[in-house]
Amino acid sequence: MRTHRLILLLALVACKAKVPASSSSGYSEDLSVHRPQLTDLQTESPAELKVKEGYTPLSNHLKEELDSIAKISYERNKAGRRVDGYVIQVYSGTTRDEANEALTMVIEQFPELESKISYRQPNFRVRGGKFTDRLEANRIYNEVKASFPNALLIPERLVISYE
């Protein structure tokens, strides 16, 4: 019985809530100058709200840059330069020589795939074909799979060239 009380006491002590560590690092900054002064909201429109003295609008803010990048990306995609499609990956590994050998074999056996090597650290990849139709991609993939058992059919955003 005594051991049960001792175990219960230890369990209660172990479950005691921990006190969070103090976060007083000595750093303080008054950012209230960037907040609009909210006075009488019923009589003033949001455009007429007054701001504190010393307020300077933020410039070169990260949000502005991200918005501009997103807008450029949206415009490029809207112009139809990219489309959802499929490619066949024949090789993926860290050895350049093996990637070159795989590329040579693919070009000899399947010249219509227009295969190429890409490098994304630390892997070399040999990919070929640009298919927008899943059925056609599967048909060619099954032919390639017979010669290259490690081949994969991968969904990818394809760049459309208007040449």
pLDDT digits (tens, 9 = 90+) for 56-105: 666 667 777 788 888 887 777 666 677 889 999 999 999 999 999 999 99
Res 19 pLDDT > 60 = no
Listed in sequence order, the residues at least 6 apart from 51 whose beta carbon sits closer than 8 Å to its beta carbon are: 33, 35, 36, 37
**SS3 category, 56:** coil
Q: How much of the chain exceeds pLDDT 90, in percent?
A: 39
What global pTM score does this model have? 0.51
Q: How much is the mean pLDDT over the chain?
A: 79
**Is 38 or 148 the better-scoring residue by pLDDT?**
148
Pairing of strands 116-120, 36-37: unpaired
State the Cα–Cα distance between residues 139 and 133, nearest whole angstrom: 10
Question: DSSP state, 82?
Answer: E
Rounded to a whole number of angstroms, the distance between the first and last alpha carbons of the chain is: 88
